[in-house]
Chains A and B, each alone.
Chain A
Amino acid sequence: MIKSAQHFLNRHVKTRAALLLSLPLGWMIVIYLGALFALFLTSIWKIDTFTSDVIREFTLENFTDVFTDRAYFNVSIRTLMVAISVTLICAVIAIPMAFYMARIAKPSNRPILVALVLTPLWASYLVKVYAWRTMFYPESGFLQWLISPVGGKSPGFGMVAVIIGLTYLWLPYMVLPIYAGMEKLPNSVVDASADLGAKPGRTFREVVMPITWPTIIAGSVFTFSLSMGDYITVQILGGTFQMLGNVVYQNFSLNLPFAAAVSLIPVIIMMIYLAGIRKTGALDNL
C-alpha cells in the first residue's frame, strides 16, 4: 500500500507539493487570512453608538472618516517618516558592521560577533524601551547627565526619542540578513575585482553592494513593518506623539470598524512595498 502510494507520488510531482502544502497553507488561510478578512469586513459595518457593539449594516462612513479627517493623513505621514528614518539609520549603522563581521573579522570570531548582535533580542522588548525612557528623562536621565557638561539637553519624549528607540530595537534585524549575504559573497569575486585594479572603495560600491543589496532590502522589510505598526514604544517614548499603531489601539475596542479601516493603511503600504521588492529577490533573503 505504501509502495503504491510512493509510486503514485513519484509520478505526480504536483500532488507531492500539494500534500506538503496542505497543512501549513490550510492553517495560514483559515486562521491568518480568515481572521484578517473578518477584520477588514467589519470596516464596512457600523457600531451601536452606546454599547460599541458591531452592527452588520453596510456603511462607508469609516472610510470617509479616515480619509476626510486631516489628522489621519498627518499621522500616516508621520508614521511613514518614522519608518523610513528608522530604516535608513539602521542601514547606515548595519552595513559597516555587517561588512566588518563578514569580511574583516577572523572566521573563528564570527559566531561570537553574531551572537553578540543577537543577544539583545532576548532582553525583553519592554525592558529595553523602558531603559531608553529612563535615559531620556529631561532632568534625571542618563542622556541629560551625559551631554549637559557640553551644554546639550536630552531631547525628551517625542518623535526623536521614538526614532532612536525603534532604531535600537530593530538594528539586529537589519544586521543579520546583511551579514548573511556578505558572508556568502565568494572571495574570488572580491579578489577578482582587486586584481582588475579597483580600489577597495570601488570594489565595495560596485561589487559588494549590488550583490548584497537584496539583503539590505530584506532587512528593511523588518525595520519598516515593525516601525509602521508599533504603538508600545510610542506610548513609552513618544510623549504626545502618536503613530498609526496608536490610532488602531485606541479605537479597536470602542469602534472596531473604524480601527479596521485605519489598519488598512499600514497593510496597504506594506503590500505595496512587498510587491515592489519582489523583483529584487529580497524575499529569499529574509
Chain B
Amino acid sequence: MRVTNLRKLAALVAAGTLVLVGCSSSEESGSGAYEGPLQDTPGTINVLAWPGYAEDGTNDPNVDWVTPFEEATGCTVNVKTYGTSDEAVQLMQGGGYDVISASGDASLRLIYGGDLQPVNLDLIPNYADIFDNLKDRPWNTVDGKNYGVPHGRGANVLQYTMGKVNPEPTSWSVVWEPNSPAKGKVTAYDSAIYIADAAVYLMATKPELGITDPYALDQDQFDAAMALLEQQKPLIAEYWSDYTKYIGAVQSGSITVGTSWQVIANVLNGEKATVGAVKPQEGATGWSDTWMISSKTEAIDCAYKWLNHIITPSVNAQAAEYFGEAPANSKACALTANPDHCSLYHAEETDYWSNVYYWKTPTEDCLDGRTDVKCVPYSEWVKAWSSFRNK
C-alpha cells in the first residue's frame, strides 16, 4: 500500500464524514406527557438553573434546598448554573440535562426545537396552589399543552453602590445618558436580549417611536435601540453575564451602577448594606421562569419529583427569598422568613407588573399584534448585538 493511496483513503473518509453529517438528524420530542404514576426509581438529574434557584449548600452552607430533596427521594441532583438564556439554550441543545428553569426568552425556542416534553400536571400536586395569573401562560403552554411549572418572577433592577452614585438613582438615565455621574463604571447585561432594555428606556424618552412592547420592534425602532446602545458604550466598564464576576467587580469598585438581579444585591448586602436596588420609573425588563423537563431525560420520575419539590410552598418561599423575587406558589407567602416578603416583591399585585416586560423571544410576526410591519426576529438581534460588541 503506497502512501499516495493513503491520501485517497483520506479523501474517502472525508467524503464519508460528509455523508454521515448529511444523514444525521435531530431527534423529535415525544408526543405526549409522561403518564405516571411516579415510581421510586433512584436516578440522577442534571439541573440547569439560574443562579440562586437551586442552591445546594456550596455557596452558603445554610442555603440548601437540594440536599433535603436528595435525602427524601434518593435522587441525585447535579446543579449547573448559567448566566444568560442563550447559554441555557446552548447547554440544553448540547444534551445531558434533564431539568431547566427557563425564562420566557428560552422556553419557546426549546419547545419548538424539540428539546422539552409536555408535563403531566396531575403528577405535580403542588401545582394547584400556583397563582392563577401565572398558569397557562403563552411562554410555557403551547397548543393547550403545559410544558412546566412556574418558579417565580421578577424585574431586572437598577443596582447602585451606595455613596458612589449621587444622587441615588430612580431612573435608568444614569446608565444611558452621556452625562452620567458614573461614566466608566457602568455595567450592562451581556446578551442580545438587553436591546429590549434600550427599548424600555426609549418608550419613556422617545414616545414618538411608538414602541409598545420592547420585544416587538420594527426596523426603525430597532435601529433607535441600537443607537442608544452605541451611545452607552463609552460609559461601560464591563458587560456582565457571570453574576459572581459581577459581585467581585462591584466589591472592587470597578462597577458602581447598572442592571442587575436582586440576588446579586442580596449577596452584596450580605454582611453589610453596600448597594441599593430599585425598579426605576421607566419600568424594566423582567422574567417569569418555568421549570421544564427535557425530552430526552432518562430519570423521568426524579425530574417530576424535583418539579413538585421546588414549588412546594416552603421550598418556593426559601428560593424566592434567597433570590429576591415573587414566588409562584400562593402558599409560599405565609412561609417566608420575612413576613413582608410577598408584599415587598409585589407577588399578589398586578399594578407593579404592568411596566415589567418579561423576557420573551422576538419573532418576525410582531409580538404586539401589529400586522402592517415586520418585526426584527431574535436571530437578527443576536447578529446586531455581535456586530455592536465588536465595533
A and B touch in the complex (CB under 8 A): yes
CA of A286 to CA of B252, assembled, Å: 41
Question: Are B387 and A71 touching (Cβ within 8 A)?
Answer: yes
A residues 22-69 touching B (CB-CB < 8 Å): 22, 25-26, 29-30, 33-34, 37-38, 41, 47, 49-53, 56, 65, 69
B residues 91-114 touching A (CB-CB < 8 Å): 93, 108-109, 112-113
Interchain nearest-CB distance for B17 vs A (Å): 4
Option from B18, B86, B113, B238 in Cβ contact (under 8 Å) with A239:
B238
Interchain nearest-CB distance for B18 vs A (Å): 7
Question: Are A14 and B2 touching (Cβ within 8 A)?
Answer: yes
Residue of A nearest to B385 (CB): A250
* Given contact pairs A50-B363, A52-B89, A251 touches B386 in the complex (Cβ within 8 A): yes
Query: Is B41 in contact with chain A by the CB < 8 A criterion?
Result: no
Query: Is B22 in contact with chain A by the CB < 8 A criterion?
Result: yes
Residue of A nearest to B21 (CB): A38
Residue of B nearest to A65 (CB): B383
Query: Is A266 in contact with chain B by the CB < 8 A criterion?
Result: no
Interface residues on A, range: 35 or more
Chain A positions 228 through 242: 1 when the CB is less than 8 Å from some CB of chain B, otherwise 0: 000000001001101
Interchain nearest-CB distance for B105 vs A (Å): 11
A280: which B residues are within 8 A, CB to CB?
Answer: none
Query: Is A10 in contact with chain B by the CB < 8 A criterion?
Result: no
Query: Is A2 in contact with chain B by the CB < 8 A criterion?
Result: no
The stretch from B145-153, B268-276, B289-297, B374-382 touching chain A is B374-382
What is the predominant secondary structure among interface residues of chain A facing chain B? helix
CA of A18 to CA of B107, assembled, Å: 52
CA of A80 to CA of B13, assembled, Å: 34
Question: Are A138 and B254 touching (Cβ within 8 A)?
Answer: yes
Chain B positions 13 through 28: 1 when the CB is less than 8 Å from some CB of chain A, otherwise 0: 1100110011000100
Option from B89, B236, B253, B379 in Cβ contact (under 8 Å) with A138:
B253
Question: Are B388 and A71 touching (Cβ within 8 A)?
Answer: yes
Question: Are B361 and A50 touching (Cβ within 8 A)?
Answer: yes
The stretch from A96-104, A114-122, A253-261, A271-279 touching chain B is A253-261
Option from A17, A47, A72, A250 in Cβ contact (under 8 Å) with B3:
A17
B236: which A residues are within 8 A, CB to CB?
Answer: 239-240
Question: Are A21 and B6 touching (Cβ within 8 A)?
Answer: yes
Interchain nearest-CB distance for B29 vs A (Å): 12
Residue of A nearest to B237 (CB): A239
Query: Is B10 in contact with chain A by the CB < 8 A criterion?
Result: yes
A18: which B residues are within 8 A, CB to CB?
Answer: 1-3, 6
A residues 109-168 touching B (CB-CB < 8 Å): 134, 137-141, 156-157
CA of A30 to CA of B18, assembled, Å: 11
Query: Is B62 in contact with chain A by the CB < 8 A criterion?
Result: no
Question: Are B390 and A75 touching (Cβ within 8 A)?
Answer: yes
Question: Are B252 and A141 touching (Cβ within 8 A)?
Answer: yes
Chain A positions 211 through 240: 1 when the CB is less than 8 Å from some CB of chain B, otherwise 0: 000000000000000000000000010011
B residues 66-110 touching A (CB-CB < 8 Å): 86-87, 89-90, 93, 108-109
A138: which B residues are within 8 A, CB to CB?
Answer: 252-254
B93: which A residues are within 8 A, CB to CB?
Answer: 52, 253
A252: which B residues are within 8 A, CB to CB?
Answer: 90
Question: Are B109 and A51 touching (Cβ within 8 A)?
Answer: yes
Query: Is B279 in contact with chain A by the CB < 8 A criterion?
Result: no
Question: Are A254 and B1 touching (Cβ within 8 A)?
Answer: no
Residue of A nearest to B389 (CB): A242
Query: Is A6 in contact with chain B by the CB < 8 A criterion?
Result: no
Question: Are A30 and B113 touching (Cβ within 8 A)?
Answer: no
A242: which B residues are within 8 A, CB to CB?
Answer: 389-390
B246: which A residues are within 8 A, CB to CB?
Answer: none
Question: Are B383 and A258 touching (Cβ within 8 A)?
Answer: yes
Question: Are B89 and A253 touching (Cβ within 8 A)?
Answer: yes
Question: Are A255 and B383 touching (Cβ within 8 A)?
Answer: yes
CA of A50 to CA of B113, assembled, Å: 9
Question: Are A255 and B6 touching (Cβ within 8 A)?
Answer: no
CA of A106 to CA of B216, assembled, Å: 72
B389: which A residues are within 8 A, CB to CB?
Answer: 240, 242, 246, 250
B86: which A residues are within 8 A, CB to CB?
Answer: 253-254
Question: Are A52 and B109 touching (Cβ within 8 A)?
Answer: yes
Residue of A nearest to B364 (CB): A49
Question: Are B377 and A74 touching (Cβ within 8 A)?
Answer: no
Interchain nearest-CB distance for B328 vs A (Å): 26
Query: Is A198 in contact with chain B by the CB < 8 A criterion?
Result: no
B237: which A residues are within 8 A, CB to CB?
Answer: 156-157, 239-240
CA of A22 to CA of B380, assembled, Å: 46
Residue of B nearest to A73 (CB): B390
A30: which B residues are within 8 A, CB to CB?
Answer: 13, 17
CA of A38 to CA of B13, assembled, Å: 12
Query: Is A190 in contact with chain B by the CB < 8 A criterion?
Result: no
* Given contact pairs A49-B379, A71-B388, A41 touches B14 in the complex (Cβ within 8 A): no
The 5 sampled A-B contact pairs (Cβ below 8 Å) are: A34-B13, A37-B14, A51-B112, A139-B254, A140-B253
Chain B residues within 8 Å of A, Cβ to Cβ: 1-3, 6, 10, 13-14, 17-18, 21-22, 26, 86-87, 89-90, 93, 108-109, 112-113, 233, 236-239, 245, 252-254, 361, 363-364, 377-380, 382-383, 386-391
Please give me the 5 A-B residue pairs with the lowest Cβ-Cβ distance, nearest first: A253-B90, A51-B113, A49-B379, A34-B17, A75-B390
Q: A14-B2, A53-B113, A157-B254 are in contact. List 11 more A-B contacts (CB 8 A).
A: A18-B6, A29-B10, A34-B14, A49-B364, A49-B380, A71-B386, A74-B391, A138-B253, A239-B237, A253-B89, A255-B383
